[in-house]
Amino acid sequence: MGSDTTTAIRPFAIEVPQADLDDLRERLGRVRWPRELPGGGWERGVPLPFLRELADHWRTGFDWRRQERALNALPQFTADVDGQALHFAHVRSPEPGAVPLLLNHGWPNSLVEFLPLIGHLTDPRAHGADPARAFHVVVPSAPGYGYSAAPSAAGWSTARTGGLWARLMRALGYDRYGVQGGDLGAYIAPAVAQADPGRVSGVYITAGLGFPTEADVPGMTPEELAHYEGMRKWSAGGLDHHALLRRGPQTFDYGWADSPVALLAWMAHKFQEFHVAEGAFTDVIDRDLFLANVSLYWFTRTAGTSSWPMYDTEESAWPEGQRHVPTGVYSGPPGIRRLAELRNDVVHWPEDNPGRHHFVTMESPGPYAADLRAFFAKVG
């Protein structure tokens, strides 16, 4: 667990210099656009007309200061935990008896992922929900993301991050708390329970548990086998960012750090692949919310430093979870519950929650908050 030391927690506010905003607009105003490749749609990557329109809006219509004010409306802090400089938001509920809850963002995302959700959790009364099911919310930025310092050496892991979060929650005075996570957070959230099983009440995962692998094939039912084949076809059609970032994150980061359009295209490509409905991802995720996330990566130059979960691994693997505390999910499918239960005490596995995007809290914060409350009502 390390030395278990946390230095003084200090208030923090995001203040992007005006010179950085001016530089971003200047770069967006002199893009050297490529030719459109044949193929149409998203088959060869982000369509040129889509990206040109998005870049133009980023330059002329997007209001970073408005997004900055929304982020700074959340009480934010920094702290050094075991020598790692961390950034986090800590939003306390006005409701007595609120339950502490640790939220874990995904990749390539940030604190922005939870902007639409936090109010539903901390002040359910204002959203027509039961005030007895309120949460005090803690949202740390993972190492190398946003305003948390990047790992200083190779070999960082989600287990190590989980240990840091356990110590952070202890430093904040929480003896008992719940943990949530999606995408990268689906790996970190179980790691928090493994590091702090006596204090964690339950782990709530957006999705990802029970994903079948080649090793599961011999024991599959015909229905599960058909499900597995469908998942393989879907994954084969995407850009394998795990393989890309495992081998050359430094190479690609030169483009992401120097060209806002290179970063925008990379982010748009991944958000589109994470979209499971027809049309563009901007049909379900607010365009300015997406650009707030891209902007945060741009201003903090963290597109490369955020890739450690991929480059410090030898191969891609689905999150496995843990057996220390009960587990619930927002969306069981496309996972298989029988497989998830091999490594988790699953007590909550809905089949029909709404969601058309991988980052569902950015799309459907109300239903997500309702289901999260339902899970923690079961585990206490």
Total structural domains within the chain:
1
Confidence at residue 2, expressed as pLDDT on a 0 to 100 scale: 44
Q: Is residue 271 part of a domain?
A: yes
**The tokens 């229905």 sit on which residue?**
223
Would you tell me how many other CB atoms lie within 10 Å of the CB of residue 343? 16
Q: Is residue 143 part of a domain?
A: yes
Q: Is residue 218 part of a domain?
A: yes
Confidence at residue 236, expressed as pLDDT on a 0 to 100 scale: 63
User: Which backbone phi and psi does 202 adopt, to 5 degrees?
Assistant: -175, 160
User: Which backbone phi and psi does 378 adopt, to 5 degrees?
Assistant: -75, -40
Q: Is residue 317 part of a domain?
A: yes
Q: Which two tokens stand for residue 266?
A: 């990379």
Q: What is the mean pLDDT of each run of 10 residues along the chain (380 residues)?
A: 70 98 98 90 93 98 98 98 96 97 98 98 98 98 98 92 97 97 98 98 97 87 83 73 89 97 98 95 98 98 94 84 98 93 97 96 98 96
Q: Which residue segment(s) compose the domain that 228 sits in?
A: 10-379
Confidence at residue 42, expressed as pLDDT on a 0 to 100 scale: 92
Confidence at residue 234, expressed as pLDDT on a 0 to 100 scale: 66
Confidence at residue 227, expressed as pLDDT on a 0 to 100 scale: 78
Q: How is 218-231 classified by DSSP, letter by letter?
A: GG--HHHHHHHHHH
Q: Is residue 5 part of a domain?
A: no
Q: Is residue 3 part of a domain?
A: no
Q: Is residue 2 part of a domain?
A: no
Confidence at residue 246, expressed as pLDDT on a 0 to 100 scale: 87
List the CATH number of the domain containing 34: 3.40.50.1820
CA 373 – CA 127 distance, rounded (Å):
13
Confidence at residue 259, expressed as pLDDT on a 0 to 100 scale: 98
Q: Is residue 342 part of a domain?
A: yes
CA 144 – CA 86 distance, rounded (Å):
9
Contact 374, 348 (CB under 8 A): yes
Confidence at residue 315, expressed as pLDDT on a 0 to 100 scale: 76
